[in-house]
Amino acid sequence: MVAYLVEVLKAGGVPDTDIATIDEEGERALIVRLPGREPGRPVLFSAHMDVVDARREEWERSPFELIEENGNFFGRGTSDNKAGVVALVSTILRFKAENLQPARDLVFAFVADEETGMDTTRLIAAHPWVKNAEFAVNTDAGGGILDETSGKPLIYLVQGAEKTFATFDVVVTNPGGHSSRPRSDNAIYQLAHALGKVEAYRFPVMATDLTRSYLGAVGKAQLGPLGEALRRFAADPTDADAADTLAKSPEFVGTTRTTCVATMLEGGHAENALPQTAKAAVNCRIFPGVAVEAVREALAAAIADPEVKVTVRGKPEASPVSEMRPDVMAAITRAVHADYPGVMVVPYLESGGTDGKVYRTAGIPTFASSGLFTKPSEMYAHGLNERVPVAAFYRGLEHIHRLAVELGQARR
């Protein structure tokens, strides 16, 4: 993939000196720069080349062939995130073909392992062309939402922060014994009681400027009690009734607090033996600014049983919030309005994850702004028969090009 992109970029006039590749244990990532007319901090654009796996026998068409059918491009990665890769490449080629030069360096990163380790993202963030970037535009999240039936644009979202993904193991051990001679203590019962406490526990309500403006904007378009709760919470995050209503909504609970939920369970080793171990995985999506260790302590305190051990899996990374910059929001709004006049442009907190968190942690404020507008039913990232509407794809290329021209103050 890197070799192919390098060939295409060179043929389009990008010199060797503006192309850098990164090697990382079998992964190859790519960085391309368009040098600025003047010195200044670069602006970074990022997309990832890798995709999640797909099984041919489960798909209706070959997942690793680009197939155009019924107004859609089908194929694994078409939406996540090959459309972004193409948008970066076509922007670079257009700058060359139209002799456009930015005022400061525009740097384009092609990540190799966003779906797995994000190790190449870390190397890219530390690269001399990138590390001084003033901010980044990530093509891998954000974007427009169309009304399911009318197809009218509803809202455009800009990702400015991500929750921290962390999994905790909740473990009870016991000497065990023969099941014909039950003891008063039992690892499975003890774990079940502990999980009951986790289920009942509510993390405190939290809000930032970013989440309040998001919930307020969504609330304007939402009818009924949920819309009212959204508007009230945006106006006053201490409104407990509004927060309670949002806590019952799977769509909005994650934007108002840290959430934890039991996702896996194992215990015991034989049907006629008392369990020696019982273990649950509790997956948490942690609000920005909250330490992983604080969440572990809160879970342990809620369980309130010193024999139940709560430990964190791996090394979860928390990333800071990227406060919205008026210049970036203005550029995104103008780019969106060129195709979809009047659509509300709103920052949001991501409950999932992208490599934007790596850039943010490295000190580069990152705003995810995909050029794709899709209906909720057209979101196929990671799913079967992934596709992207052809018209949305081509408009997405224009979106990234407009952002590069405006944020880079490009001219001939």
Measured from the CB atom, the residue of 244 and 317 that comes closer to Zn ion is 317
Task: Write the interaction track for Zn ion spanning residues 240-279; mark x where CB under 5 A is met and - where it is not.
Answer: ----------------------------------------
How many helices and strands in the chain, by DSSP H and E? 11, 19
Phi, psi angles (nearest 5°) of residue 154: -100, -45
The Cα 358–Cα 126 span in angstroms is 10
Measured from the CB atom, the residue of 27 and 80 that comes closer to Zn ion is 80
Smallest separation (angstroms) from Zn ion to the CB of 223: 32
Measured from the CB atom, the residue of 72 and 81 that comes closer to Zn ion is 81
The Cα 70–Cα 180 span in angstroms is 65
Measured from the CB atom, the residue of 140 and 162 that comes closer to Zn ion is 140
Closest CA to 373 of 352, 354, 394: 394
| Cis peptide bond N-terminal to 81, omega within 30 | yes
The Cα 410–Cα 123 span in angstroms is 28
Burial of 196 (0-12, 13-18, 19+ CB in 10 A): exposed
Measured from the CB atom, the residue of 18 and 115 that comes closer to Zn ion is 115
Task: Write the interaction track for Zn ion spanning residues 131-170; mark x where CB under 5 A is met and - where it is not.
Answer: ---------x------------------------------
The Cα 66–Cα 58 span in angstroms is 17
Measured from the CB atom, the residue of 18 and 140 that comes closer to Zn ion is 140
Phi, psi angles (nearest 5°) of residue 136: -130, 150
Smallest separation (angstroms) from Zn ion to the CB of 339: 22
Binding-site residue total for Zn ion (CB under 5 A)?
A: 3
Measured from the CB atom, the residue of 76 and 401 that comes closer to Zn ion is 76
Transcribe 380-410 into DSSP letters.
-TTSTT-EEEHHHHHHHHHHHHHHHHHHTT-
Task: Write the interaction track for Zn ion spanning residues 56-95; mark x where CB under 5 A is met and - where it is not.
Answer: ------------------------xx--------------
Sign of CA dihedral 234, 240, 242, 243: positive
Smallest separation (angstroms) from Zn ion to the CB of 352: 9
Measured from the CB atom, the residue of 105 and 115 that comes closer to Zn ion is 115
Task: Write the interaction track for Zn ion spanning residues 343-372; mark x where CB under 5 A is met and - where it is not.
Answer: ------------------------------
Smallest separation (angstroms) from Zn ion to the CB of 82: 10
Smallest separation (angstroms) from Zn ion to the CB of 164: 18
Smallest separation (angstroms) from Zn ion to the CB of 369: 14
319 in contact with Zn ion (CB under 5 A)? no
Q: Which residues contact 32 (CB under 8 A, 6 or more apart)?
A: 9, 14, 18, 19, 20, 88, 92, 107, 108, 110
Task: Write the interaction track for Zn ion spanning residues 97-136; mark x where CB under 5 A is met and - where it is not.
Answer: ----------------------------------------
Smallest separation (angstroms) from Zn ion to the CB of 81: 4
Residue with tokens 């909740």: 170
DSSP 185: -
Measured from the CB atom, the residue of 46 and 164 that comes closer to Zn ion is 46
Smallest separation (angstroms) from Zn ion to the CB of 382: 8
Smallest separation (angstroms) from Zn ion to the CB of 48: 6
Burial of 160 (0-12, 13-18, 19+ CB in 10 A): buried
Transcribe 331-357 into DSSP letters.
HHHHHHHHHSTT-EEEEEEESS--THH
Residues near Zn ion (CB under 5 A) = 80-81, 140
